[in-house]
Copies of this chain bind each other. A is one copy, B any other.
């Protein structure tokens, strides 16, 4: 079969009009799905609900994605991509602990902007036996490795002890920021980002003894 696109040759491919419509629909579906799944979990969220929230017919979901799981997996990829880019950009140009600090702030900002995504991320990351599990782990490791790289740099610069367990510390920093951010939004949303970042920053800048 294969569409047999009749080669719309024409002037500068106007085809864009159609595909931008499609990507707008996909975006709406991502947004609907991320909040619903964060609230209820993957299995408890029905495709009908997602479609309704997105203001779209059920069939459209299946026109745009192969399956419910596929929608979810692409959503995951999309979100983690945004996070990794944000962290990398935040750390750029700075060095060592300055960079770590900037990344922590970027992490907080990201979670504040996409709280549902963060919820969904914690909920699914350490889960085993799921179809999208490998995807998620790979992307998570990519993210943590951005932190690890900065720590390694700080060690090289003598800002941190040379025998620091970089891997473990990266996990610790990641977990710290994640849980602090989620608790912040869940329990003390009135506090400002600067406030939270200040508190976190002090912990991050602590000197390792010995």
Copy tally for this chain in the complex stands at 2
User: Is B165 in contact with A128, judged by CB distance below 8 angstroms?
Assistant: no
Interface size, chain A (Cβ < 8 Å):
48
User: Which chain B residues border A188 with CB–CB below 8 Å?
Assistant: 167
Residues 8-23 (chain A) with a chain B CB within 8 angstroms: none
User: Is B202 in contact with A208, judged by CB distance below 8 angstroms?
Assistant: yes
**Given A123-B123, A180-B171, A39 and B202 touching (CB < 8 A)?**
no
Which chain B residue shows the least CB distance to A169? B203
User: Which chain B residues border A205 with CB–CB below 8 Å?
Assistant: 209
What residues of chain A have their CB less than 8 Å away from a CB belonging to chain B?
A: 38-44, 118-119, 122-124, 126-130, 137, 164-165, 167-169, 171-172, 174-180, 182-184, 186, 188, 196, 199-200, 202-203, 205-210
Cβ-neighbour of A127 out of B38, B126, B129 (below 8 A): B38
In the complex, 19 of the A-B residue pairs with CB atoms within 8 angstroms, ordered by the A residue number, are A40-B130, A41-B42, A41-B43, A42-B44, A118-B126, A123-B123, A167-B188, A168-B199, A168-B200, A169-B203, A171-B179, A171-B180, A175-B175, A176-B179, A178-B179, A202-B209, A206-B208, A206-B209, A207-B209
Which chain B residue shows the least CB distance to A208? B206
